Every structure is written in structure tokens, then in C-alpha cells.
Amino acid sequence: MKPVGMTQRCHSFPIVTIAVFSTLFFGFFLYNEYTNIIPFPDFKHQKPFQESSNSTNVKVQGTNEEHNDGKLEVETQGSTEEKYQESKDLNLNIAEEKDNGENKRSGLPLEECDIFAGEWVFDNGSHPLYKEEECEFLTEMATCLKNGRPDSLYQKWRWQPRDCSLPKFDAKLLLEKLRGKRLMFVGDSIHFSQMLSMVCMVQSFIPPERKSLSYASYTTVFKTEEYNASMEFYWAPFLVESNVDPPTMRDGTVDPVIKLESITKHGETWKNVDYLIFNTYIWWRYPTVKALRGSSDDDWATDYVEMDQNVAYKSVLKSWAKWVEENVDPNKTSVFFSSMAPSHIKNSSWNNTKGTKCANETSPIFNMSSPVDVGTNRQLFTIALNVTQSLKRIHIRFLNITTLSEYRKDAHTSIYAAHGGKLLTPQQKSDPSTFADCVHWCLPGLPDTWNELLYSLILSH
């Protein structure tokens, strides 16, 4: 099989230059890392929730520079954790509880503010927005406390934009905004997690008999009868069709092959949805991508060519943008595109040379004075930004969650996930270099922040 105007992967690996070798080696490293943690959650493995004995009650003690040397002392059940704060170098802020936990913040009007530029503030008054044990719809893929995680500080960080304030999340207000409407997340398992996050943020305000969550091969749908509204997820990790779309092919053991321009099949489900939120990133894990050359699904394994990852990504997003332009009514539907959610595989990125990936990380990266490089593919980021801004008829709102999420090395499921409904064994937990999931996120946690940002944009529209 010969490639047509594209590169084909070779069995040998000739070293041309040290730079080329380093780039490709890192690509292979990421591919092998993702192989163990990429699978889409088997969300049908749900068991009745039992409150974890590892849950902690966190109390923030005020810092005293004279007697406490700038340390942030956090008191938990039976132990005290000290988080060091260098007041001049680190952007670690503690939100004081005032006015029943609501923190008064001011600044520019929301529509004039870059809500994605800011800092993380420790806030045990207003966060988390819900409790893990109170949301029956969470899967064991994300219930880190139930799965044995001993700390809960990762739940208590609030995103504070630099020049304005996010509106306080109001579940009833969002439900009213969605009355008679559909909201759908489209993409990979990161978006599935964000969909569950939003469900948990609103479900406590809906009577048990008037809400439901259903699963199908490609879709997950949360319905609330009282508001005649739905929050949905549609599985399309590449947006276009691929051989990893079917449920039996999502375990990460199959080399993905995509159809560069085939999006109509998926798109039929997206039509007439009121809020569409797209993403595609974590499956783009290799420097080259296999693209189906023909049109038959029988040819996935043989009839493909390999092309540069950036070229393929741009081609896919152009196919997606063309579909949006031709099928979305801007008077009915609001369209969003989420930038890439980062992974935290290289602990050297935050100077923790004694650590192992994201395992045992209990606090964000505090030094936000300069960008942190955790390995996010910024070329794909730029492609996504340019394509979303190029549409003429439809305005795409770009959810720039990447940079703010890169500081959250503490928020991953790590060794406390349950792939396929099975927790890691003690032996597996002792080997985080192999088994720590530093791609997916605990709930409650970081995806709640993404939804707070989305909520702000929905309200301001």
C-alpha cells in the first residue's frame, strides 16, 4: 500500500537529527501512556453510591506571616496539611467567607472581560458546587473520594478572572434558560465527564420522579420533565467518523482510522439542538494519523494512508466547520468549541523530580507568572482557534479551557479511577507510572469550572 502525497509509517526508524528523534520519541512515549488511560468510560457500570470513609472536612486557617511563615495551613480529619505559599512569587489566594460564603468581586462587565485569564483561588465557602455522594448519576470513573482518594482539596478551587467576576452559579436559572431546549456535548470522554458535571450541578433542584438518565450506543441523555429540557452527550472523539466510534472499539487498543470528510452521519443527531458544545483532542495522540482512503467500513484495517497530525486535524475541523455553516440556524442554535484539556504525565514539567506523573499531587501549580509546559499540543490549539474564527455565517464561541487547566495537576483521577467499573488493585496502585490516569478528571472538580465558564457565556448571550 503506497501513500498518495502523504507519509507512511516505516518499520525502521532512521535517525536524521537529534531533534527529529526527540520529537518522535516523545510522540511514541505519549502514545504508550495514553494506551492505558484513553478508553471511554464504561458508564453502565454504576453501583448504588455509598459515602466514602475517606471524605474529609476541610477548614482553612488564616495565615499569619509573622508566626506562620506564609504557610497555608489546612486542617483535615485527623491530620494537618501545610501548603507552602510564597506571597511574592505564587498566585495562591484564599477566599474569605463573607455574606454566607459569597465573595464580593467586581470588575469589567462580563461581555468585555476575558474570563479565561485569571487565577485559582482556594474557596471552601462556595466550592465544591455539589457533593460527590449526593449525585447519583456520577460514574465510578470520576468518584475519586469513593474510590479511596484521601484528600479533597482539589474540589475547593475557584477560577477568578483577572478583570471581572463570574456570575454565581444558579442551577434554577440555568434550568429556566434551558426550558424546552436541548444542550449537547459532542466529542470524547472528557466531554462526557463535563456533561455529567453539569447534570450534577443542577439535578438536586429536580424532584427524583421528574428526572432520568439514559444510555445508548452513541448518546447519553439526562432529561428533566419539569423543564422539558435535556442535557446530552454524543460520542464522536474525532467529530468525523472513525473506526473507534462503535462501543466495542473504544478500549484504546485499536489504532484509530478516520474518515476525513465523513461527518453527515454524526451530524444528523446534532441538528436542531439549541446548545452545541464540541471538542476533539485526547485521541489525537500520535504524530501521524491514519485516514481511510476509500469509503467502505470494511477497509478500516488496510485501505488507509498516513498523514501528518496537524494536516489531518485541520482537515477534520474544516469538515466540521463546513457542516456547521450548512446545517446550523444561528437564530436557534448557539455553538461552542472547547479547546484541549491537558494531561499531566511529565512531573518534571512542574519541577517535581521525585514524583510520578500526577500521582499524589494535592495542589495546583501555584506559579502562574509564566506559562507551564505540560506537553499540550499548541499547534492543534492554534488550528482550532483559527478554524473556529474563520466561519462567516455562524459565530463560534471558543472555550479556552487549556491554560487554566494546565495548572491543575492535582485534579486528575490518577490511581482513583475505575475503568470498566473496576478499581485498581493495591499492587496496581503502587505502580502509578503504569496505572495513574492523568488524562481524566475527578468529579466534583475541574470540569465544574469549565461549566461555570460555559454557564457565564450562556447567560451573557
pLDDT, tens digit, 9 for 90 and up, residues 346-395: 999 999 989 999 999 999 999 888 889 999 999 999 999 999 999 999 99
How do residues 17-72 score in pLDDT, each as one tens digit? 444 444 444 444 444 444 444 444 444 443 333 333 333 233 333 333 333 333 34
Res. 96: pLDDT tops 90: no
pLDDT at position 67 is 33
How do residues 415-424 score in pLDDT, each as one tens digit? 999 987 899 9
Residue 431 is among the residues annotated as catalytic for this protein: no
pLDDT at position 50 is 34
CA distance 146 to 150: 9
CA distance 456 to 461: 9
pLDDT at position 263 is 97
189-202 and 446-460 are packed helices; what angle lies between their axes, rounded to 10 degrees? 70
Give the Cβ contact number of residue 126 at 10 Å.
17
Q: Which residue has the higher pLDDT, 450 or 4?
A: 450
Res. 91: pLDDT tops 60: no
Residue 114 is among the residues annotated as catalytic for this protein: no
Residue 106 is among the residues annotated as catalytic for this protein: no
Among 52, 123, 440, 456, the active-site one is 440
Among 189, 197, 319, 456, the active-site one is 189
CA distance 181 to 158: 28
Q: Tell me the torsion sign for CA atoms 130, 133, 136, 137.
A: positive
pLDDT at position 53 is 32
Q: Which residues contact 238 (CB under 8 A, 6 or more apart)?
A: 244, 256, 258, 280, 283, 284, 316
- Is the Cβ–Cβ distance between 107 and 163 less than 8 Å? yes
CA distance 42 to 52: 21
* Beta-strand pair 211-215/288-292: unpaired
pLDDT at position 178 is 97
Res. 155: pLDDT tops 50: yes
Q: Please name the amino acid found at residue 68.
A: N
Q: Which residue has the higher pLDDT, 372 or 4?
A: 372
pLDDT at position 296 is 60
Percent of the chain past pLDDT 90, that is, above it, reads: 68
pLDDT at position 446 is 98
Res. 111: pLDDT tops 90: no
- Is the Cβ–Cβ distance between 74 and 129 less than 8 Å? no
pLDDT at position 108 is 60
Res. 76: pLDDT tops 60: no
CA distance 109 to 107: 7
Res. 79: pLDDT tops 90: no
The DSSP bridge partners found for residue 412 are 441
pLDDT at position 413 is 98
Scored b (16 or more CB within 10 A) or e, 241-270 reads bbbbbeeeebebeeebbbbbbbbeebbeeb
pLDDT at position 461 is 75
Res. 443: pLDDT tops 70: yes
pLDDT at position 139 is 92
Burial label for 404, CB within 10 Å (0-12, 13-18, 19+), is buried
CA distance 293 to 305: 6
Tell me the average pLDDT of the chain: 82
Res. 187: pLDDT tops 80: yes
Which value, in Å, is the radius of gyration of the alpha carbons in the chain?
22
What is the band of 301 on the pLDDT scale with cuts at 50, 70, 90?
Answer: low
Res. 344: pLDDT tops 70: yes
Res. 116: pLDDT tops 60: yes
How do residues 202-227 score in pLDDT, each as one tens digit? 999 999 999 999 999 999 999 999 99
Among 42, 151, 410, 437, the active-site one is 437
Lowest-pLDDT range of 20-34, 134-148, 231-245, 399-413 = 20-34
pLDDT at position 299 is 64
pLDDT at position 252 is 78
pLDDT at position 26 is 44
